[in-house]
């Protein structure tokens, strides 16, 4: 029963994710969030896609990456009962395509396929796995524009930002292709002269990968990269709102020479798929990015077969701006931390605390910068913010705003649905926000920036830590002593000092408290997919 409840909760999970670290152009704080630099060719591409939006699907179909079937054992298949569901473009509500409504039977077969493939994939040399992952990375980069178009089409983020996600997502495959050759064991000094003691590291086995809609490529590669590098095989359940990017990435994995059954993709009936993953004794680990509520239920469901669990869960990120901060740096960093992906990431600055001495100055400069953010269809030139993912997301933002304004918060900028209609929302700045308001207690997951004043460093730390979440935090100060004091006092897994974009494949990503378990990315990310085996060789003193 617990497993069923956990699996059903997957269907309504709130997406979480992160973007790669880079510095922002001062004059355009969000337009080019990722490491991608503006180029003439990319500008032409954006103009072309904007003017020829109806042909995007046709263009993608001709590329061979537009897949609309599940992948099991290296074969593209429909749901066994022929049922499908629709994938929509959030910018206009149009149906992009239909994909299979898969369930328990298809998931069981995908698990069996992954289990069979594990026997051979785990026995390949690390160098062989490394070479195939490297080829996958090269194909992802070679098809960056097509993958970016696909992300914009089904998720809504601006095309430039989407192509940045491809670069970021591919970086995990590249990094773990290199780390595959660096999985080392240990030799332990024996306690008895005739013994030899060793520690081996071996792959966990089949991994259930459950990913969100807000970064439909990067959240897959950040999990699948280390899993495959260690010798594991995977069954991926992408979000029902954005399955097409996952299918395209899986297609490229096959082209890269990753054997059939190593990567499987099923989607559709989330409760049924989740039940199958939780119940299977062949699945030895679940890695999940999503809401804290769903993560708790997955933990309970995984207990039935004692699976390993990695969880990257919800956040309530504080952004603390001290009196001694460089206001220009703080404004640029806070906008980057708040508005990337239209505020739909787990590490978005959810609460912006500003010390009283510069509160008015910061609020004025911040609002002026936010006014320059252009809202529109992701294929439009110069667009900074795309639509929210669906109507439910808009209603949540409206609920939070109503709660705040009825309790005394003032709308300095925005505050309502955008004139473009659909799920577009105006970038919003609120002042006179209090710590007991709903948007201070829970993730907004939208383009709303609440500004809260504080007096002392101690007060800021107490306010920042007054939450069950502990994923990301940001501080802006020119004092090196303060930066150390506050960083050490903050109860968060990630801290950005004078920087709003801090994620990278070479650093560990994850939270404390109720923001999750385990770490993704970096050399530490491999440990989540490895088991330790102690070996004792006895009677080694004889002939």
Is 42 a member of any domain?
no
pLDDT at 48 over 90: no
> Alpha helices of 389-527 — where are they, by DSSP H?
391-406, 438-441, 457-465, 480-489
Are both 242 and 99 inside the same structural domain?
yes
Is 204 a member of any domain?
yes
Is 2 a member of any domain?
no
Q: Residue 347 class from Cβ within 10 Å (0-12 exposed, 13-18 middle, 19+ buried)? A: buried
pLDDT band at 63 (very low <50, low <70, confident <90, very high): confident
Is 26 a member of any domain?
no
Are both 385 and 485 inside the same structural domain?
yes
What pLDDT shows up at residue 54? 52
Instruction: Determine the structural domain holding residue 498 and report its residue range.
Output: 317-503
Query: What's the pLDDT tens digit per position in 21-39?
Result: 332 333 333 433 333 434 4
Are both 355 and 224 inside the same structural domain?
no
DSSP 422: T
Are both 283 and 342 inside the same structural domain?
no
The model's pTM: 0.91
pLDDT at 51 over 50: no
DSSP 13: P
Looking at residues 498-504, what average pLDDT do you find?
Answer: 96
- Please state the φ and ψ torsions of residue 77, each to the nearest 5 degrees: -135, 155
What pLDDT shows up at residue 55? 78
Query: What's the pLDDT tens digit per position in 249-307?
Result: 999 999 999 999 999 999 999 999 999 999 999 999 999 999 999 999 999 999 999 99
Overall number of domains in the chain: 2
Q: Residue 484 class from Cβ within 10 Å (0-12 exposed, 13-18 middle, 19+ buried)? A: exposed
Are both 74 and 221 inside the same structural domain?
yes
Is 214 a member of any domain?
yes
Between strands 516-517 and 448-454, the pairing is unpaired
Are both 193 and 309 inside the same structural domain?
yes
Q: Tokens for 104, please give them.
A: 């328990």
pLDDT at 330 over 70: yes
pLDDT band at 5 (very low <50, low <70, confident <90, very high): very low
What pLDDT shows up at residue 28? 38
What pLDDT shows up at residue 46? 45
Please check whether residue 88 is in contact with residue 95, taking contact to mean a CB–CB distance below 8 angstroms: yes
Domain harbouring 78, CATH code: 3.40.605.10
pLDDT at 81 over 50: yes
What pLDDT shows up at residue 59? 86
Are both 337 and 222 inside the same structural domain?
no
Is 294 a member of any domain?
yes
Are both 114 and 132 inside the same structural domain?
yes
Q: How far apart are CA 135 and CA 116, in angstroms?
A: 23
Q: If you average pLDDT over every residue of the chain, what do you get?
A: 91
Are both 303 and 209 inside the same structural domain?
yes
Looking at residues 431-449, what average pLDDT do you find?
Answer: 96
Please check whether residue 509 is in contact with residue 494, taking contact to mean a CB–CB distance below 8 angstroms: yes
Among residues 36, 312, 457, 520, the one annotated as catalytic is 312
- What percent of the chain lies above the pLDDT cut of 90? 87
Is residue 312 flagged as an active site residue?
Answer: yes
Please check whether residue 179 is in contact with residue 524, taking contact to mean a CB–CB distance below 8 angstroms: no
Query: What's the pLDDT tens digit per position in 403-429?
Result: 999 999 999 999 999 999 999 999 999
Are both 301 and 332 inside the same structural domain?
no
- Largest Cα separation within the chain, whole Å, is 86
Are both 239 and 153 inside the same structural domain?
yes
Identify any residues that bridge with 102 across adjacent strands, giving them in sequence order.
268
What pLDDT shows up at residue 56? 83
Is 172 a member of any domain?
yes
Phi/psi region, residue 360 (left: phi>0; alpha: psi -120 to 50; beta: rest), is alpha
Please check whether residue 526 is in contact with residue 179, taking contact to mean a CB–CB distance below 8 angstroms: yes
Is 269 a member of any domain?
yes
Are both 182 and 321 inside the same structural domain?
no
Query: What's the pLDDT tens digit per position in 151-180?
Result: 999 999 999 999 999 999 999 999 999 999
Q: How far apart are CA 319 and CA 346, in angstroms?
A: 13
List the strands of the sheet with 494-497, edge to edge: 410-413, 428-431, 448-454, 349-355, 317-321, 472-476, 494-497
């Amino acid at each position: 029963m617990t497993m069923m409840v956990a699996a059903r909760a997957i269907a309504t999970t709130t997406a979480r994710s992160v973007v790669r670290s880079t510095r922002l152009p001062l004059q355009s704080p969000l337009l080019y969030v990722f490491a991608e630099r503006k180029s003439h060719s990319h500008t032409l591409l954006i103009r072309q896609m904007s003017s020829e939006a109806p042909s995007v699907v046709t263009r993608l179909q001709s590329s061979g990456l537009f897949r609309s079937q599940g992948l099991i054992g290296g074969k593209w298949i429909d749901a066994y009962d022929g049922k499908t569901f629709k994938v929509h473009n959030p910018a206009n509500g149009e149906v992009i395509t239909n994909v299979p409504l898969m369930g328990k039977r298809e998931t069981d077969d995908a698990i069996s396929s992954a289990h069979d493939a594990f026997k051979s994939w785990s026995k390949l040399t690390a160098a062989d796995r490394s070479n195939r992952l490297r080829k996958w990375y090269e194909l992802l980069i070679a098809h960056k524009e097509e993958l970016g178009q696909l992300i914009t089409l089904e998720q809504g983020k601006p095309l430039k930002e989407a192509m940045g996600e491809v670069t970021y997502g591919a970086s995990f495959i590249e990094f773990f292709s290199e780390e595959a050759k660096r999985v080392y064991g240990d030799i332990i000094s024996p306690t008895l002269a005739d013994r030899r003691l060793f520690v081996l590291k071996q792959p966990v086995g089949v991994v259930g990968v459950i990913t969100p809609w807000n970064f439909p490529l990067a959240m897959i590669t950040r999990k699948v990269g280390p899993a495959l590098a260690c010798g594991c095989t995977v069954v991926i359940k992408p979000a029902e709102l954005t399955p097409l990017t996952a299918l395209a990435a899986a297609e490229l994995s096959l082209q890269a020479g990753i054997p059939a059954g190593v990567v499987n993709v099923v989607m559709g009936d989330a409760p049924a798929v989740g039940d199958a993953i939780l119940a299977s004794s062949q699945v030895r680990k679940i890695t999940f990015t999503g809401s804290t509520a769903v993560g708790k239920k997955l933990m309970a469901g995984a207990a039935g077969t004692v699976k390993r669990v990695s969880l990257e869960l919800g956040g309530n990120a504080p952004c603390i701006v001290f009196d001694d901060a460089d206001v220009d740096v703080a404004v640029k960093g806070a906008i980057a931390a708040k508005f990337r992906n239209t505020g739909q990431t787990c590490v978005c600055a959810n609460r912006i605390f500003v010390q009283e001495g510069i509160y008015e100055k910061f609020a004025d400069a911040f609002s002026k910068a936010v006014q320059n953010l252009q809202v529109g269809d992701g294929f439009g030139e110069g667009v900074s913010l795309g639509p929210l993912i669906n109507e439910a997301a808009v209603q949540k933002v409206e609920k939070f705003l109503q709660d705040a304004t009825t309790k005394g918060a003032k709308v300095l900028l925005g505050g309502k649905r955008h004139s473009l209609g659909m799920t577009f929302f105006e970038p919003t700045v609120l002042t006179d926000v209090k710590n007991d308001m709903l948007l201070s207690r829970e993730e907004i997951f939208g383009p709303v920036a609440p500004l809260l004043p504080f007096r002392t460093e101690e007060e800021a730390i107490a306010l920042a830590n007054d939450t069950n979440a502990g994923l990301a935090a940001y501080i802006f100060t020119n004092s090196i002593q303060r930066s150390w004091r506050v960083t050490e006092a903050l109860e968060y897994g990630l801290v950005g000092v004078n920087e709003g974009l801090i994620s990278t494949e070479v650093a560990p990503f994850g939270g404390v408290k109720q923001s999750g378990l385990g770490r993704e990315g970096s050399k530490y990310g491999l440990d989540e997919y490895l088991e330790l085996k102690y070996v004792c060789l006895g009677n080694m003193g004889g002939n």
